[in-house]
Amino acid sequence: MSESRRTYLSELERFFAAMRMGGFVLAPRDVELAQEWYERGIPMGVVVRGVTEGVKAWRGNAVAGQRPPHRLSFYQKRIRTHIKVWTKEEEASDLALSRPREFVKARRAEIELMLAAEERDLERAVKEVLRDRLEALDERLAAEDLAEGAVAYELLLLDGEILQLYHHRRTGEAGPTPADQEDDLRERLRIPTLRYWST
């Protein structure tokens, strides 16, 4: 048995003993349940919430001095409910993380196609910068769990930086791109949209 699995079971036993106000060892069937939760990656906190809720509900009908049921299986229905809630939250979180990854990958594919068709030297050079920046962001997304809003903000900044770079290389003027010229620059440069929230 791995140390983390052993820790999971021993911590669960310790918590359960404290809830029942008495020491005991998990029954074989309860050990099987706990191992199943561990294998599925269910955090112990999710199980604890289900047991805590079950004990509170049991105490509402218990006789004074009576100890809560000593089997985890007694609380399994409430634990299952908390596992379902946790699973949905995890799925929503995974989706929120995967959407920006898919967006960045799609923009990378677009810029590669645009680069292959670009015959203008200046525009090609600026698009190569954008390609490299998108590649770097894609690599970060693979290594880190960046929030959707953080990725959207980075893309918005990148959009502005690319337009500023293009404006500077075309005119020699430093500083931010004049707002009234952004649409014209974007149309001339012909780059994929980096405005995440507009898609």
For 34-72, what is the HEC assignment?
HHHHHHCCCCHHHHHHHHHHHHHHHHCCCCCCCCCCCCH
On the question of pLDDT at 177 being above 60, the answer is: yes
Q: What pLDDT does residue 157 have?
A: 94
Q: What pLDDT does residue 163 have?
A: 93
Determine phi and psi for 146, rounding to 5 degrees: -80, 135
Taking residue 167's Cβ as centre, other Cβ atoms within 10 Å add up to 22
Q: Can you give the residue ranges of every domain in the chain?
A: 3-70, 95-198
Query: Over the chain, what is the mean pLDDT?
Result: 85
Query: What distance in Å separates the CA atoms of residue 158 and residue 124, rounded to the nearest whole number?
Result: 17
Q: How confident is the model at residue 20 (pLDDT cuts 50, 70, 90)?
A: low
Q: Please state the rounded mean pLDDT for residues 152-177.
A: 91
pTM: 0.55
Q: Do the beta carbons of residue 31 and residue 66 sit within 8 Å?
A: no
Say which residue, 89 or 158, is predicted with more confidence: 158
Of 155, 151, 130, 132, nearest to 142 by C-alpha is 151
Q: What pLDDT does residue 96 have?
A: 63
Q: What is the pLDDT of residues 103-122, one digit of tens each?
A: 898 899 899 989 888 999 99
Q: Give the rounded percent of residues in the chain with a pLDDT score beyond 70.
A: 92
Q: What is the pLDDT of residues 40-82, one digit of tens each?
A: 989 888 888 888 888 888 888 878 777 788 788 888 899 999 8
Determine phi and psi for 145, rounding to 5 degrees: -95, 80
